[in-house]
Structure 1
Amino acid sequence: MAVRAEADQLLDAAEELFYERGYHSVGMDALRTASGLPLKRIYSLFTGKDAIAVAMLDRRDERWHESLAERVDQEAQPENRVLAIFDWLSSWLAGEGHRGCAWINAFGELGGTSPEVADAVRRHKTRFRTYVNALATEAGAPPPVADGIFLLVEGCMVTAGISGNSDSAAQANDAAARLLRG
């Protein structure tokens, strides 16, 4: 149990630092200081910074999907379940310290040099696309519309991350509602 607690302590520190500063600008010394763990212990838990990034992204994926599903599951009507994604995104995008999609950020910095990070990002995006497409299909949307809704979600996250404005979620919500109505 102590190993899990130490790993979580390190991953908490990594998530905060990587999301706030980026991956390249955070060194192992910063992770050591923020986590309170000696470097020797960090390296006994993970083989290096890329492995820490992958574990952090995978753990974040679980929490992110749980939070999203919790909001979506509050809706009974299939169309409202799809649109609940944008309601959830609006809150998430407006959150303090929001700096865009952690997976897009990771891919932008490390995707070309770390196959493991690129794979973690692809796992998250594939899982998310499957979820969005399933909700859209349940609402009666054909596959091209379901794919379009997923792209609206991704586009609003990128736009909000760059602009610092969460209005993109409401705009994407309106477009998704029009797509669902046919």
Structure 2
Amino acid sequence: MIKQRGQVVADKILDTAERLFFKQGYNMTGINQVIEEADIAKASLYKHFESKTDLLLAYLQRTHERWFDKLGGDVNKVTDPREKLLVLFDYHRERQLKNGYSGCRFIKANDEAGMSDERVLAEIQKAKQHLKDFIAELVINSGHQKLLTDKELTDLIFMMLDGGIVAASIFKQADDLQSARAIIQKLL
């Protein structure tokens, strides 16, 4: 399938914004830098994104879709229902290693823009809730030992994943995600 010219330009802008927002942060990235590094005209940017916040929202939506597609693909490669839960930790660990322990794109965006813009906060909450719902479905289907309720195990896994990501970004290692995986494995 051949992309339309407008989509090619929009993707070029989003690719540039994604790299810059993730590397240097939303607040430290100016629209002029995005325009310059994407090598586009200012009018092209505003044709696709009315504001910097609209660009951030598009970045978050695309990131969520791509991230979740990859996660779902990794989980679906495994047949054992309990192992599927452990793949969540493996996936998060792999992402931290690949991205130099740079944390979570959604947590970063929330810290910078989620508190001041309801649309950004809603998009971040949507992504995080999607993950939590996905975990809940895996927990229900896992046949775990029932040392915790399904909701308690879901909440614990969710918090351990996000906590492990934060720890990885602070300590520049993924040991806490590996430890979290081992703890959850004992509860399964």
TM-score (norm 2): 0.92
Match of 2:86 in 1: 83
Match of 1:133 in 2: 136
> Which 4+ runs in 1 deviate beyond 4 A?
none
Output aligned runs, 1:6-155, within 5 Å: 6-141=9-144, 142-155=150-163
SS at match of 1:165: coil
Gapped regions of structure 2 (runs ≥ 5): 145-149
TM-score by length of 1: 0.95
Match of 1:162, SS state, is helix
- RMSD, aligned α-carbons: 1.1
Q: Secondary structure at the match of 2:115?
A: coil
**SS of the residue aligned with 2:102?**
coil
Do the aligned residues in 1 keep the contact of 2:100 with 2:172 (CA within 8 Å)? no
Contact 2:71 2:91 in 1 (8 A): yes
CA distance in 1, matches of 2:135, 2:47: 38
Q: 1:133 touches 1:150 (CA, 8 Å); kept in 2?
A: no
Match of 1:162, as an amino acid?
I
State the AA in 2 paired with 1:178: K
In the alignment of these two chains, the number of paired residues is 180
Which residue identity is paired with 1:170? Q
Identity %: 27
Q: Is the 8 A contact 2:132 2:154 kept in 1?
A: no
